[in-house]
Chains A and B, each alone.
Chain A
Amino acid sequence: MLLNKYFTIHSVERRDEDTIFHVTLNPNHEIYRGHFQGNPISPGVCTVEMVKECAQQITEAPLSFANIKNCRFISLLTPASESELLVHINLTESEEGYAIKANVNGQEQAYLTLSGELCVNE
């Protein structure tokens, strides 16, 4: 949905269960026409979707959130001020499919921490 439109993945580092995606946001994505007019702010839910789409790169299967136990938006993300991000994902097998722990950070700021479970789409 968002990969290669809203954001692109440059490089991927894998260390056991942890994967770090280096991503770039596209400041010209159409969502910024409405979020907000003349004041582009990255929708928090798009950061969450970006985490899921990065996780799909690891599982190589389409995923859905079964639950989000905790998701905290730490600071406001604007595509103009911080277009390069690190998406850090820890995936382990769980009852629903995969347990995920993720965080999204910029050069100096933290933007998101998330924990929950993903299931593989039928």
Chain B
Amino acid sequence: MSYTTTDIEQLIPQRAPIVMLDTFSRIDEKNYASELTIREDNIFCVGDKFAEVGIIEHIAQTAAAYTGYKHLVEADSVKLGYIGDVKNCRFTVYPSKGDTLHTTIRIVSEINDITLITAETKVADQLVATCKMKLATDESK
């Protein structure tokens, strides 16, 4: 079943000014995609340039949207989540205002409330960043 939403606040607990997703999609059970167009008022913009940590936050929120999507399917509420670690993160191109980030994440493993993902972010066909990330969900909140 494919699924795409622009109602991001239904999936993640973050709110303006730190929402770094415009869309979230399910590709298949293990692969999910998201997009973010970098607008002038984005909190991670420095002049025309989008900070690298903005890309990391965008990837982390894609993973958060994945856990939010699962909870939504299971008719449960959205939980707070945190980045545990970021590994082997490489930045090859630095995106600018007006660019649209296209991110795909792959769910590598899920053990209790810990999710391990790999991510790839592109602008058009150009690779921007790759990384591995571990995320924790706070099931009590």
Q: How many pairs of A and B residues are in contact by the CB < 8 Å rule?
A: 83
Q: Which one of B22-30, B48-56, B120-128 contacts A?
A: B48-56
Among the listed A34, A48, A65, A72, which residue makes an inter-chain contact with B19, where contact means beta carbons less than 8 Å apart? A34
Q: Does B114 contact A (CB under 8 A)?
A: no
The range of chain A's interface size is 20 to 34
Residues of B with C-beta under 8 A to A1: 44, 46, 51
Closest beta carbon of chain B to A62's beta carbon, Å: 8
Q: Are B14 and A68 in contact (CB under 8 A)?
A: no
In the complex, which residues of chain B have a beta carbon less than 8 angstroms from the beta carbon of A82?
none
Known: A1-B46, A43-B57. A31 touches B18 (CB 8 A): yes
Instruction: Find residues 87-120 in chain B having any chain A CB closer than 8 Å to their own CB.
Output: 87-91, 94
* Contact yes or no, B14 A35, CB < 8 A: yes
CB distance from A27 to the nearest CB of B (A): 15
CB distance from A117 to the nearest CB of B (A): 10
Tally of contact residues, B, Cβ under 8 A: 31
Selected from B44, B49, B85, B91, the residue in CB contact (under 8 A) with A73 is B85
In the assembled complex, the Cα of A43 lies from the Cα of B53 at a distance in Å of: 10
Give the complex CA separation of A68 and B43 in angstroms.
21
Whether A73 pairs with B15 at a CB distance below 8 angstroms is: no
Interface residues of A in 47-91 (CB under 8 A from B): 48-49, 52, 64-73, 76
Interface centre among A37, A43, A66 (most CB of B within 10 A): A43
Residue in B15, B57, B60, B91 whose CB lies within 8 Å of A66: B91
**B80 partner residues in chain A, CB cutoff 8 A:** 36, 39, 41
14 contacts between A and B (CB under 8 A): A1-B46, A30-B43, A36-B13, A36-B80, A43-B18, A48-B56, A65-B89, A67-B88, A67-B89, A67-B91, A68-B87, A69-B87, A71-B87, A73-B84
